[in-house]
Chain A
Amino acid sequence: MAGPKASSQSQATLSHTVSTLWKSYAHKTPDRLKFVDVFLTFLVLSGVIQFAYCVLVTNFPFNAFLAGFASTVGQFVLTASLRAQVNPENHTEFKEVSPERAFADFALGSIVLHFFVFNFLG
């Protein structure tokens, strides 16, 4: 009966890994990035809900779906970029980009995105 033993062993390893990952994330990630991650999680949930509604209920009006879904996707991309640029561990990669500059890019990109989203929403 090696199977169950092995699986329980691997399960234990997995839960151990996950808890290690979570502890590491909770302790080592700056609050700022955790805040960004909360926003990203919200965007993912919003996008998933809209997609499920489109598939399960109706895709009409399709332009509204595209606008709503694209707004979450676009905002996710912009926020993820912001997270990458303000992450201290990536400091060496974005030497010329200060956190202020990164936020200004993020804010401008988001405003343009929302301008198009609300034009397309119908």
Chain B
Amino acid sequence: MRFLRSALLSCLALLATVLAKSSSGDKVLVLLDPSLDKANYSIFFNGLEKRGYDLTFRAPKDASPAVAAYDVPNYAHVILFTPDTKCTSPTNPHPSHARLTRTVAYASDITPQSLVGLLSENTNLLITLSPKQTPLTSLATEFSLIPPPPGTPLVSHHPKREEPATLVPVDVAPSPMLAKGTAPVWFSGAPHALGNSPYLVPILRAPATSFAADSTDDSDAAVIVDAADKAGEGLWAGSQLGLVTGFQTFKNSRVIFAGSVDLFSDAYARKPLPDGIPSGNAQFVRDVAAWVFQENMVLRIDRTAHHRVNETEPPEMYTINDQIVYTAYISAYNPRTSSWKPYDGLTDLQLEFTMLDPHVRTALPPVAGEPGKYEVQFRAPDRHGVFKFVIGWRRKGYSFLHTSTTVPVVPPRHDEYPRFLSAAWPYYAGAISTSVGFFVFSALWLAGDVKGERKNLKNTKSE
């Protein structure tokens, strides 16, 4: 009986690890600030573990476990629950500046540079910010997020509620990465304005009635507006502010900047909204983590193929005006089975046939009945040179798809030109009639030679 139960348990454990893994790995390093209690985030962390993630907790100033060894990341994902943690490295190791060195809160392996380095090694980051000015705030500016002045949390007096003005219920806009009908979430923390980087993925926007201010007291509201006008900075207000914003890098690693660590807390997950319904925090943070850990909206191009129409193998080179068939096979990651499944949901895929400029840009539609297969037939341009088949598909929130195949396009060989064109028959007739005329002329000339010669002689004699 005990054996059976343990076997069952191990089976379940195996199932748990098989189910719902990220496409890039399961090892997660959580940097938890000592001031935060792990138990306060149990719903979020337990949810991750249930989905098969292997969480390792560490205080930001602990040296081990290291986030990377010899520039190779040890973890597939890093969660930084360190919204208030201040310095990244000793500003001055001299003993007389003991107060400065005591504020060191990060070990030497966590610096803005190392975090960017992790991203380029395809490690995903979940970063939490706070109204305080920290190294992570400066890092956020490098990702085209614009933080408000320090110490100005998000404030909203609407809707009327018992909670303080800095604890704001935020409506969740529908997005492909979030479950449909996610209830509004509780938020208390720092907003940020969005820069113009096209790689930003806005996930949660501030309510239209909210603003960033250092005081919840409305008595000096006019002063704030005046100052905003004079400083030329504008008002930190309204729904153009972001609260949770993602960023996807060229290498498809993902990073999330959340303006509040409390968003992930049990307290907010359990706290009912002002109208009594349960808050959407638990669902929201689960979906956000699923996106940043590359479970959802992860696509890849398995392979591409190209050949002339009515052939199957790619030729060594194409001839101008050839009819070319180009095929791409695209898969999406399915976190439920942790496998790649052919994906035919892309309707706006385009193929470019480029030589410096796209000479052909055409839709690459999915083939009905063959999931994951995208195919198009097109005519090669009347231009020879080194061409590339290029697919570049970039949509907010989805992995970027990019592939490029170089092929030469040559003019026809000397024996590949079309022959005996109907348009050229006057020329053929002209050349042939000249030849025939030459032969007839020669024959008559030679036949009439004797007589003509005599005549000529006669003529010359008579003259």
* A residues in contact (CB < 8 Å) with B: 30-32, 35, 39, 42-43, 46-47, 49-50, 53, 57-58, 60-61, 64-65, 67-69, 71-72, 75, 79, 88, 91, 99, 103, 107, 110, 114, 117-118, 121-122
Q: Are A50 and B455 in contact (CB under 8 A)?
A: no
Tell which of B34-42, B374-382, B437-445 binds the partner.
Answer: B437-445
Nearest-neighbour CB distance to chain B for A89, whole angstroms, equals: 9
Known contacts A53-B426, A65-B427; is A71 also within 8 Å of B456 by CB?
no
The B interface, classified by DSSP as helix, strand, loop or mixed, is helix
Q: Are A72 and B417 in contact (CB under 8 A)?
A: no
B429 cross-chain contacts in A, Cβ below 8 A: 68
Nearest-neighbour CB distance to chain B for A80, whole angstroms, equals: 13
B423 within 8 A of A: yes
17 examples of A-B residue contacts, CB within 8 angstroms: A32-B445, A39-B437, A46-B434, A47-B430, A49-B426, A61-B423, A68-B431, A71-B434, A79-B441, A88-B456, A88-B459, A88-B460, A107-B442, A114-B434, A114-B438, A118-B435, A122-B419
Known pairs A31-B452, A39-B437, A61-B417; list 10 more (Cβ under 8 Å).
A32-B445, A32-B456, A35-B444, A39-B441, A50-B427, A53-B427, A65-B424, A67-B427, A71-B431, A118-B435
**A49, A61, A68, A110, most chain B CB atoms within 10 A:** A68
A110 cross-chain contacts in B, Cβ below 8 A: 438, 442
Q: Are B434 and A75 in contact (CB under 8 A)?
A: yes
B442-462 CB mask vs A (1 if < 8 Å, else 0) is: 101110100011011001100
A60 cross-chain contacts in B, Cβ below 8 A: 421, 423-424
Can you list the 7 inter-chain pairs with the closest CB atoms, starting with the nearest?
Answer: A68-B427, A68-B430, A64-B427, A64-B424, A71-B434, A68-B431, A53-B426
A69 cross-chain contacts in B, Cβ below 8 A: 427, 430
**B423, B438, B442, B459, most chain A CB atoms within 10 A:** B438
Nearest-neighbour CB distance to chain B for A56, whole angstroms, equals: 11
Q: Are A122 and B434 in contact (CB under 8 A)?
A: no
Known contacts A117-B431, A122-B417; is A50 also within 8 Å of B426 by CB?
yes
Q: Name the one of B421, B428, B437, B456 contacting A42, with C-beta atoms under 8 angstroms.
A: B437
Q: Are A50 and B430 in contact (CB under 8 A)?
A: yes
B406-439 CB mask vs A (1 if < 8 Å, else 0) is: 0000000000010101011011111101110110
Q: Are B435 and A114 in contact (CB under 8 A)?
A: yes
